[in-house]
């Protein structure tokens, strides 16, 4: 049986809250809430010293499809959409791990 749009939205909200994403108080142009999570780390760079870096992910939902925007050190790295909230969470885990942070 296929899930309804309301069931997918409820699953999306539950997964966002379980995985540390919080509402950032902003909405999209059509009123959809935006979830956000930030990862920070300090690394040692040769000939420069310590440097702070960050990874920020914004997530919103459009017609039951999660849309994510990835920012690395304040610069947009890319936007992606996924077929389900679970696939989006799994992809975000991979993105965060590959970037050297802990999900």
The enclosing H or E element of 13 equals: helix 5-18
Domain containing 19: what range?
5-98
What total of structural domains would you count in the chain?
1
Burial of 53 (0-12, 13-18, 19+ CB in 10 A): middle
Report the DSSP beta bridge partners of residue 16: none
Nearest-Å Rg of the Cα atoms of the chain is 15
Judged by DSSP in three states, 81 sits in: strand
Positions in the chain whose pLDDT score sits under 50:
none
At 3 the pLDDT is 76
Does a structural domain hold residue 103? Answer: no
The pTM of this model reads 0.85
- Closest by CA to 12, choosing from 85, 89, 92, 90, is 85
Does a structural domain hold residue 61? Answer: yes
At 76 the pLDDT is 96
**Alpha-carbon distance 19 to 14, whole Å?**
9
Does a structural domain hold residue 81? Answer: yes
At 2 the pLDDT is 77
């Amino acid at each position: 049986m296929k899930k309804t749009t309301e069931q997918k939205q409820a699953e999306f909200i539950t997964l966002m809250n379980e995985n540390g994403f919080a509402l950032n108080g902003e909405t999209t142009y059509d009123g959809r809430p935006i979830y956000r999570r930030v990862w920070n780390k300090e690394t040692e760079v040769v000939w420069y010293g310590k440097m702070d870096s960050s990874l920020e992910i914004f997530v919103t939902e459009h017609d039951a499809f999660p849309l994510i925007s990835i920012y690395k050190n304040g610069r947009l790295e890319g936007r992606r959409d996924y077929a389900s909230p679970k696939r989006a969470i799994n992809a975000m885990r991979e993105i965060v791990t590959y970037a050297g942070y802990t999900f």
